[in-house]
Amino acid sequence: MRVFQRLEVIGAGPDLMKLASTIEKNLSNGWTRDLKREEEVGGYGAAPQYCFACDAANNRRAAHLWLSFSRDRSNLRVGNIVPRAQSSLSYDEYNLILNEFFHYFVEPEIDGVRLQASLSKADVTLEDFASPKTARLLRRFSETANRSSGSSHPSDRELWEQFLISAHLASDRIYTDILERWLIEEERWPLDAASELTIQYERGRSLLKTYDEHTSR
């Protein structure tokens, strides 16, 4: 399943500030820093944000790439890439811009000691977000459940709840958008049924988290 990649650079605040300045000095191939856009959004957060713009070229769309500090300033990450001449970017269009920015301007400046960078995968599976047991239970549910009734049948509900409990105990980070896309794109669930299961999943994880918080007091 194709997803938007994530780029993060970890290090000390001064080193990260220096990296941002170095990137600006080395920009080329239609890339510039958009100081005006930074000023327009400057009041929306305490941590610095850097806006880099790329012109349209070949398969690359014109866009603004936002590089932002975390609140504790221990890392820089690309928070978003916003197209300048269309409503949205496809996964491939977004990832193409992110990879170009990383490989041409970020990676050459990373020494691996003071700064460390990570670029997530473009193609993921369920196992990238779930433990083996959780993934196995969810796949089994998807294979055996009545797709017209979701988790409402007693036998389907039991397997669904086992999946929820496993995800909770393993602290699996199955995001709701990933779950819904997996159900629809990979397992071919009807849209309405997949959306309902996603809502049930979110409520179930929230309930289990609240239960843990109350019992630990």
* Domain 7-119: CATH class, spelled out: alpha beta
**pLDDT tens-place string over residues 44-89:** 556 788 999 999 998 999 999 999 998 888 899 999 999 998 889 9
Quote the pLDDT of residue 43: 52
DSSP run (H or E) holding 191: helix 191-215
**Backbone φ/ψ region at 112: left (φ over 0), alpha (ψ -120 to 50), beta:** left
Q: What is the pTM of this model?
A: 0.82
Query: Which backbone phi and psi does 31 adopt, to 5 degrees?
Result: -100, 140
Give dist(CA 44, CA 17) in Å, integer.
19
**pLDDT tens-place string over residues 113-167:** 789 999 999 999 999 999 999 999 999 999 999 998 889 999 999 999 999 999 9
Neighbours of 69 (CB within 10 A): 21
Domain spans of the chain? 7-119, 126-215
Q: What share of the chain is helix, strand, coil (3-state, %, to 5)?
A: 50, 20, 30
Q: How many CA within 13 A on the CB side of residue 81?
A: 27
